[in-house]
Amino acid sequence: MVKDLSVGLCGLTLKNPVIPASGTFGFGLELADEMDLNVLGGISLKGTTREARYGNPTPRIAECPGGMINSVGLQNPGIDVLVNEKVPSLRKVYDGCIIANISGFSLDEYRECCARADACGGIDLIEVNISCPNVHNGGMAFGTSAESAAEVTRTVKAVCQKPVFIKLSPNVTDIVSIARACEDAGADGLTLVNTFLGMRIDIHRRKPVIANKMGGFSGRAVFPVALRMVYQVAHACRIPVMGCGGVASAADVIEMMMAGATAVQVGAENLRNPLACPEIIEELPVLMDELNINTLQEIIGTV
């Protein structure tokens, strides 16, 4: 029997739930010569800010058992380049769901960038990264309090017609309360989770490995914690969830969907194996046959 891998996400139909996560797949075009991009359910583009950013000083990558730490610092060419160059070029070769990942250091920056992304014809969905420090509030990340997360959500929803997903930070005490605050503020969906805060020390130099001292920990090691958070939020909220964090196989995708995710993002695994996503998509029907699953839609939130 032919397996149905398609899923519905806020009125959009994705051919399958597998999406390269923001920051691990560039703007899509970088890998267009290495794979058929059109096998992907969606692509979450590199995080974008109002102005071009050169990122943090190097070194900004550290390997860890079961993952990696990065402190790239949102290096990107800015919103103008995204909407005028990157998305139109990608749309010429890719017919799936294009997700703009927007970051900001103030409500004004979120508002302006999301409005620009919403007006860009090639973008289907807007994903808002609220793990950035609020420069007007002492540097505390927008996503670490329910009130700030809701404020960003209301701000961007006021200027967006396209579906808005808020990408949540796991570096909080109660992710469910923040998720509910975003839902109440009008979010169409939620992506979780972003990276965990981590650190490595070079014991020979007696200094942190990363120039910025700490960074975002991601990779296979975080999967059980990310899965737990997806399960909690998906069962507490009515809006769809994109699961992310340590996903590295077709089995991980199935687990995330059973926990309640409608779509699943693959992050650090793309950096280890740039062909991870197409390989996972190819494995899915085989695993579905083993598990007697005919359509992926039917397993969402079954646990």
Task: Please name which of 127, 122, 114, 190 lies closest in space to residue 159, comparing C-alpha atoms.
Answer: 114
Number of H helices, E strands in the chain: 9, 16
How far apart (Å, rounded) are the C-alpha atoms in residues 134 and 127? 18
Please tell me whether the peptide bond between 241 and the residue prior to it is cis, using omega within 30 degrees of 0.
Answer: no
Q: Is 120 a catalytic residue?
A: no
Task: Please name which of 85, 87, 134, 82 lies closest in space to residue 113, comparing C-alpha atoms.
Answer: 82
Task: Please name which of 222, 225, 240, 224 lies closest in space to residue 300, comparing C-alpha atoms.
Answer: 240
Q: What is the largest CA-CA distance in the chain?
A: 59
Q: What are phi and psi of 76, to 5 degrees?
A: -165, 160
Exposure on the CB side of residue 204, measured as CA atoms within 13 A: 0
How far apart (Å, rounded) are the C-alpha atoms in residues 300 and 107? 34
Identified catalytic residue from 97, 120, 132, 277? 132
Q: Which residues are catalytic?
A: 132
